Structure 1
Amino acid sequence: MEHITLLIGIVIATALVFDFTNGFHDTANAMATTISTGALKPKTAVAMAAVLNLVGAFLSVAVAKTISGGIIDESAGIKPEVIFAGLVGAILWNLVTWLAGLPSSSSHALFGGLIGAVLVAAGTHGIHGDAVVMKVLIPAAAAPVVAGLAATLATRVTYRVGRRADPEATSRGYRAGQIASAGLVSLAHGTSDGQKTMGVITLTLITGGVLAPHSDPPLWVMVSAGTAMALGTYLGGWRIIRTMGRGLTDIQPQQGFAAQTGAAATILASSHLGFALSTTQVCSGAVMGAGLGRKGAVVRWGTAGRMVSAWVLTLPAAGLVAAGAALLADQGTWGVTAVAVIALAACAAIRSAARRKPVTHANVNEPVPGTPAAGPQDAVTAAIAAVTPPPPAPAPASGTAA
């Protein structure tokens, strides 16, 4: 580490800030449904997620290598200031969507930022287009659908299996199952998102000549990235947790268990294959699938539509901000300083706006403003419910008067 220059140190620190925002931005992935059903208290849930995110960051480096040597060409003359610009674009988009309470993808914000900055600095030859398509874009389109279908099927199975059981006992059992499945999602999140920052730092060290090309992340990189994400997770992205737990659909324990289990399986499989998957999109798709899987449930399509719009905008929006930052940072020390000052001012403004209407662990389970239990945006769900017969009532217990 003695060869790390001041600029590389600044880039590493910025990468850890991004990892921190990733942690509080994506806590909702694992814990929103667990909190909304009361399976865990809010602070207990985020503490559990923080520990397991840290553990998950050490389980694999496949996704980290996809970032450091997959989508970006290490030999294209990429400089550390370019990576700095990409991180600034990702951080600002994360904070904007956090302020709006939208569970957009931190992963795609990072990809968009890096791609936008590299295109400005090195042109198209700095990007491995086939890797972007195969390991980012295709999984981004397929993963929410796969997770949603899995959650829909799992939800229907759980209700069918337990339709004659005691409802209260069933709910208690699935709340316990939710705790286990939420832990699995947190672990999976660490194996996927925790490695993305490791990959960025490793790419910075390679471009700065500190590491040889195609190197694995050093141990200190793994420790620092995992710790930054765990700290962000512990603070809790309460705005996004409320949207995921209360804004998309009203989640019951059976649905929460089904959604989390389907999401965890999808994320773990993709991490093993080195796909840099968006855990946000997977978990959001699973929650919507769980809403569709319960008869009579309401999926708030207006909220879902805003989320999908944020997903579509994430790559280009973060890329445009990063491209502008790269143009400025390329001017030298004063340019890098200007980018840092502008980014800090933007972060402060977003933080100030958030404090006007705070969302904390105390009000995270309150209804999301503007998302009624049913309304015009729920016409599809209402129509499905109208033509679907309710499940049979449980048989009366032996010896009980009918």
Structure 2
Amino acid sequence: MPVDVVVLVAVAGLFALVSGMNDGGALLATGLKLPSIRPMTGILALVVMLALVPLATHQVALTLVERLATFEGPGGRTATAIAVLSALAVVAFLTAKGRPTSLTLALVGGLTGAGLGWGLPVSLPYVALVLGFGLAAPIVGGLVAWAVTTLLVRFSSTGGLRRWHRVGFLLQTVAYAANDGQKMLAIFMIALGFSDAPPRYTILVAVLFGLGAMYGLPKAGRTLSREIIAFRPLHGVAAELSAGSAVLGCSAVGMPVSMTQAIAGALVGAGVVRGGGRVRWYAAVKIVLAWLLTLPASGVLSAVAAFIGRGMV
């Protein structure tokens, strides 16, 4: 097996583990105050969905592989490895500075920058379109959450809230597997040259994600469930239903968006129903600033690294 394939497969595995650490806790955080779904049950559900949903649809993975840039040419795998490592470096740096951010934004920036730096064909209009959807997802999630929270306050009892929590969590896991979660599969696609979704690779991605989620749940979950708003079970249920709906809508047109961004926007939308005082705006602003830094920082870092790497090769 060529060296560039081996390296990119290893990088793809690392990326799946880090995705579990970064995304898994965020996906489970909204329901931590409702005992309807235990954390390990939630992780198992995520693993199952990540293994099965791409068998039905993997359009978002194809968007990352084929529509942002073309990675099939000479050096494509090396450029992809640079993109992924740059994305991980930016996310690690921002997280260490207390500014959790989106791996999806980082990967889009990394792939775009590495493609440009290596001289690969890059579709800048499509990059702009993906970015537009990414920016819209948390806004749409917040607006939907405001409406959903209002309805739940009026019509849902405590028992009903538990039932809606199960529905919302299921919707959220399906949406993640149909969209944000496919960024992991996309890296394996580039590494190994397939364009479908072989079960052995969807299962591998799902297992690696699950291992990362078990490790990262406490920290990632605390960030969303405690820092953004003075959290109540109602807010978590509304965020699950709203973020899941917004992300599924983007999946239908093959647009990769960040579930963590959608959840954060939905938590803010749920929090303002009874006045903005429940929202911790300083934390929300801190996260938004991290989002704004993530894509350009990943893009510049990967472009410079790819340009240097191409010159060395």
- 1:157 aligned partner: 151
- CA drift of 1:95 comes to 2.4
Q: Identify the structure with the greater helix proportion.
A: 2
- CA drift of 1:38 comes to 4.7
Structure 1: distance between partners of 2:226 and 2:39: 14
- 2:122 aligned partner: 127
Q: Does 1:305 align with 2:281?
A: no
Q: Does 1:269 align with 2:249?
A: yes
Number of residue-to-residue matches in the alignment:
313
Q: Does 1:279 align with 2:259?
A: yes
Deviations 1:260-289 (A, max 9, x none): 101111111211210111111111111111
- CA drift of 1:173 comes to 3.0
Deviations 1:305-355 (A, max 9, x none): 00000110111112233234324433558xxxxxxxxxxxxxxxxxxxxxx
CA contact (8 A) 1:101 1:240 kept: no
Structure 1: distance between partners of 2:210 and 2:221: 16
- 2:66 aligned partner: 69
Equivalences for residues 17-36 of structure 1 within 5 A: 17-36=14-33
Matched position secondary structure for 2:256: coil
CA contact (8 A) 1:112 1:318 kept: yes
Structure 2: distance between partners of 1:188 and 1:216: 19
- CA drift of 1:245 comes to 0.4
Q: 1:46 to 1:302 in 2, by over 3 A?
A: same
Tell me the amino acid that sits aligned with residue 111 of structure 1. V
- CA drift of 1:200 comes to 2.5
- 1:82 aligned partner: 79
Q: Which runs of 5+ in 2 are unaligned?
A: none
Residue from 43, 47, 52 that aligns with 1:50: 47
Which piece of structure 1 moves more, 219-228 or 242-251?
A: 219-228
Which piece of structure 1 moves more, 73-82 or 275-284?
A: 73-82
TM-score (norm 2): 0.90
Is the radius of gyration larger for structure 1 or structure 2? 1
Tell me the amino acid that sits aligned with residue 190 of structure 2. L
Q: 1:204 to 1:77 in 2, by over 3 A?
A: same
Q: Which runs of 5+ in 1 are unaligned?
A: 163-169, 334-402
Q: 1:129 to 1:95 in 2, by over 3 A?
A: same
| Structure with more contact order per residue of length (Cα contacts < 8 Å, sep ≥ 6) | 2
Structure 2: distance between partners of 1:37 and 1:288: 19
Q: 1:56 to 1:104 in 2, by over 3 A?
A: farther
- CA drift of 1:107 comes to 0.7
- CA drift of 1:217 comes to 4.3
- CA drift of 1:44 comes to 4.3
Deviations 1:219-238 (A, max 9, x none): 44333223322322233342
- 1:93 aligned partner: 90
CA contact (8 A) 1:57 1:192 kept: no
